[in-house]
Chain A
């Protein structure tokens, strides 16, 4: 599943960050996921749990979703997308490679495919809490 690849990236990045900062035990990892990724929270939570490193054995993973917003570069129209309204084929393509939005979606005002994803794309770590070595 795609969620497993994302979880793998999150765990590796968090563990490396903790190592670089001298954090012995991670207690909390806050993750923001763009709505465009259409990630199943249950699957990514399960994957994160399975992939935990010893340093994050007891860590709490908090996942938030950032809504997908777009701005047309041609007519400057801004809009929000409800990914639940996408058909199956479009939804799957965008789930795996979010830039496929430019293949399947156009500006609702002028029809241009030249738009910017201003919010709700990608996965990033918001914060990591933990205890440093004494």
Chain B
């Protein structure tokens, strides 16, 4: 008989207007920074926004937000705590920021458990910071989350793009809506990524310049919101 948790997951998103997975084929492309800046900028435009960190083995959104010691409330499931105006859910609420060494099946079970018990309030956007690659978490999202859309992050590196291209092909083959691709950490603008994205029929959402001040703003939101990086993510957010 089927897993009882699976029966309730789709309904957990009934109050959420748009579910956007910020994803990449490769790690280290700035996905979490883009996810947090996108969530904060949408909130700054008076939207109700949730942020879900699904990178269980390397969660980092709590570091960017500069929060610790949050704990969800229990109410016929669990309600995500509020952080910086966002409904915020992360495994660190339960792992106390200790290492989370999970094999694939365990990671998948943990994701299913968290999705089944989390009750999201009414949201305009739920931004999901995905782990890199096309492994368990990505496949679970494609299987379990209704109406999910992907916003894909790459860097100008051909190595990063090669992995991103595979993710884009998978999403296209599975007929999963893809908002488009963001080119992050751009030092010198070229058309390479833009042309490659157009070749496979996806949308190039824009370039984000490499911004050393963004690294210095990690954990300090008032500084992050002043960066060139944040403003560029905000502009991309206005177009989605």
Contacts and interface: CB of A to CB of B under 8 A. Distances in A.
B101 A12 contact: no
A108 interface: no
A122 B105 CA distance: 13
A96 interface: yes
Q: Which of A97, A99, A121 has the most CB of B within 10 A?
A: A99
B1 A124 contact: yes
Nearest to A127: B1
Nearest to B1: A125
Contact of B78 (A6, A96, A98, A125): A96
Contact of A6 (B2, B4, B101): B4
Contacts of A96: 78, 94, 113, 117
B101 A113 contact: yes
A4 B78 CA distance: 10
Given A2-B74, A96-B94, A103-B95, A114 B101 contact: yes
Given A1-B74, A96-B117, A114-B101, A12 B8 contact: yes
Contacts of A8: 7-8, 76-77
B3 A122 contact: yes
Contacts of B113: 96-99
Contacts of B98: 103-104
B99 interface: yes
B5 interface: yes
B77 A97 contact: no
Interface of B: 1-8, 74-78, 91, 94-96, 98-103, 106-107, 109-110, 113-114, 116-117
The 10 A-B residue pairs with the shortest CB-CB distance in the complex, in nearest-first order = A9-B4, A4-B76, A99-B110, A12-B7, A5-B77, A93-B94, A5-B117, A13-B4, A125-B1, A13-B7
Interface of A: 1-2, 4-6, 8-10, 12-13, 16-17, 47, 89, 92-93, 96-100, 102-104, 113-114, 121-125, 128
